[in-house]
Structure 1
């Protein structure tokens, strides 16, 4: 289908309605219509498996489902059945439900490196709780974040370090410092410079600086870099970070929002055999249902409880954190991952997709410009211009062609619901998009193929 014939009139009207009532037109900035080509931001009607349908009646093969949260595919039967059982039994009570016991037992059996767990709804809930707990147990004010990782929380201690820092007091931002991933010497220098001031080191144990709308052109807090990827940490790096944290008396926190389940059922910590003091999980944990988890060593976690003699820590207290249907969804997800070998399937699907996209791009002469990066279960892509620099304009061209071909792909992050036919179709559409990409490169100007403004980074100072 030619993009000039691909129109989304109902979605366009719905987007106007969204912006009239909801700041940003979406409840997550990464889902905003500024992340998509102008007038080509589909509004979703429903989804099943690896496919979604928009309100204009178009069907898409979907990647990055629910910002990586729907890793089993939409409306997964085992998850939906578990949720339905709880809906008829009530979802929230004045005292803990037995489901909370079962969910905690299941989680701690799945992530045996943790000794206690507390559930919440969002990733930011638990990363901020981890930071607060680290500050409480160490008595120190500063937070050291990995500056190469794009996102940790919507709360002030992180958002103040981004270009969207309006509303965050400078005094708060000054308490957050950054260290580079993979550089133990630089991290030790930071800990020495702020001796006895750093409460915690928080990072994704493995990951990437995402070449996506949020960071393809915009430098992240630490520096201005091009898009990078990282499948595995350098051997010895995480163990070295563990030793540094111990020696300097700070808490080591692994943000496993992305690596949890996609790297292994027990997260990256289960794969790399390095135990953090605290870790946070979300996204894939509920297959789209709202559930997150803060887990860690009993000595620390219990400080947020009732059975100790020290000062109490307000760790997490959420009205909806223990909704029974979300916890049931999490248990079903964990069971499905273990029994059906989902992590291995995600890797196999991602490897097949990456190979196909790379071959298609090379075949059209743009193999150095459309670049697939990351671990097979967590693929992203970079769109580079004629000088091989990250380009939002070329990203726009690429996304327009994918959408017109029935592929909704802000990333190439796979779900286990994809089939071989979906991968083959995606590769065909990518090849068609790359043919147009080559024309734009030859002209040294993608503008004629944009049909509107380019997509924008999420983190930017001005609207």
Structure 2
């Protein structure tokens, strides 16, 4: 039975009247959820959220992977309250900027320097600008198998939502396939590339020797290797994917879990490159990152609290354990309902996503809609199965029960080869599309 959401429906109308798309992140849009079943959130605590109608949900996705410790984490909130009482922003750097940078570099020892900002796009775009300045080359190579790198023109121009971006800008970005060193070398051989930018790992482990092979190719062809650690940072390990796999990039970018919901991101890298954006280098300066709010004291305090909590409480191990429990349970109930080849759980245990396949084993937005509707109706919300450490084993077990019921409905839809009577209206839509 669907949950009635009259207040959420009203709130969605309010949001659309004053905010383009009704949300400040496309991935949180109403179109990403079933018709008339897009809750508007009132508040959250640990691994749960409540909507404005008063319904409680077990939450996955955790603020698009930004809240790895769970909502309103007491240690983070205490640090934020203490620091913000001293003032948030000054005309000169605050001492906490040095403290946060030192703590970050202790956690990510493969980097020599770090500069903080507010969102991931700022950091990745700064990395691209720096790579172009270092190499004198305009062309950027992105991993074409990875979903998102920046809201800025150099990346968005490569997506179906390219309106407003000059073709000349888009032509400066090319793509390479993940896991294929030969294809990547062919690109580097035929183009003067400033950098390769990619996530070190996503839903699959990097093939043996792949990341080290990229490192060698970049060295051979004189381009920089940039790891986008927005997701892998503080989920794969406390030092990110580069720490786990033992391959050091020239530059790397962090965010999301770094502040447990507070706005902080980071560009980190080798001193010889980072100093181009500083005051101690004789070479031509790079306007690297200069943001009024980039080093707000309370957000840096949140980051320090995150470092401490991860280290002292073994958060990465907990995320992996919770994810393993969830993945095993979902696979078991999906197989039991006869949809084990249609409802799939993929990815690293700390970063699980689900795939919904139709009767022809093709990815299906209508079946995704059915699945999401069944989850929300059962008190589980999320665009993925990405866990936070705020979840409990009991939360995981309840989620598996809800998934079990959803899989029973899924089987019925497959038998009819028609999920429409369970979608409740239009199917959910992909984020990147040319028209509404």
- d(CA) in 1 for partners of 2:51, 2:95: 39
C-alpha distance in 2, partners of 1:141/1:326?
33
Matches within 5 A, 1:11-410: 11-194=8-191, 197-207=192-202, 229-230=203-204, 232-410=205-383
Match of 1:430 among 393, 403, 407: 403
Question: How many Å apart are 1:451 and its aligned residue?
Answer: 1.3
Aligned residues: 436
Cα distance, 1:193 vs. partner? 1.2
Aligned to 1:185, the other structure's residue is in SS state helix
* Cα separation, 2, equivalents of 1:172 and 1:16: 36
Q: How far, CA to CA, are the matches of 2:283 and 2:362 in structure 1?
A: 54
SS in 1 for 2:238: coil
How far off its partner does 1:450 sit?
1.1
**1:447 and 1:254 mapped to 2: Cα distance?**
41
CA offsets, 1:321-374, max 9 Å, x none? Answer: 000000000000011001100000000000000000001111111000000000
The whole-number CA distance in structure 1 between the counterparts of 2:393 and 2:195 is 44
Q: CA deviation at 1:33?
A: 0.2
SS in 1 for 2:358: coil
1:104 aligns to what SS in structure 2? helix
1:408 & 1:462 partners in 2: Cα distance? 26
Task: Kindly provide the CA deviation profile for residues 387-409 of structure 1, in whole angstroms up to 9, marking residues without a partner as x.
Answer: 01000000000000100000002
Distance in 2, Cα, partners of 1:50 & 1:67? 13
Q: Deviations over 1:77-110 (max 9, x none)?
A: 1100000001110000000000001000000000
CA distance in 2, matches of 1:201, 1:444: 43
Corresponding position: 1:452 with 2:428 = no
Report SS of the residue matched to 1:371.
strand
CA distance in 2, matches of 1:284, 1:107: 13
Q: CA–CA distance in 2 between the matches of 1:152 and 1:48?
A: 29
**Structure 1 residue 276, shift from structure 2 partner:** 0.2
Please, what is the CA RMSD of the aligned residues?
0.5
Displacement of 1:61: 0.1
Q: 1:235 Cα deviation (Å)?
A: 1.3
Q: Residues of 2 paired with 1:450 and 1:151: CA distance?
A: 28
- Structure 2 residue 413 is matched with structure 1 residue 416: no
Q: What's the offset of the Cα at 1:7?
A: 1.5
Q: Secondary structure at the match of 1:284?
A: helix
Q: 1:31 Cα deviation (Å)? A: 0.2
Q: Which runs of 5+ in 1 are unaligned?
A: 208-228
Which contiguous aligned blocks of 4+ residues in structure 1 show a shift greater than 3 angstroms? none
Distance in 2 (CA, whole Å) between partners of 1:32 and 1:233 is 31
Give the secondary structure class of the aligned counterpart of 1:396: helix
Question: 2:127 and 2:398 mapped to 1: Cα distance?
Answer: 42
C-alpha displacement at 1:310, in angstroms?
1.1
SS in structure 1 at match of 2:36: coil
Alignment partner, residue 221 of structure 1: none
Q: Which runs of 5+ in 2 are unaligned?
A: none
Question: For 2:137, what is the secondary structure of its paired residue?
Answer: coil
Deviations 1:40-89 (A, max 9, x none): 10000000000000000000000001000000000001100000001110
Q: Give the match's secondary structure for 2:368.
A: helix
Secondary structure of the 2:115 match is: strand
Scaled by the length of structure 1, the TM-score of the pair is: 0.94
Shift of 1:281: 0.2
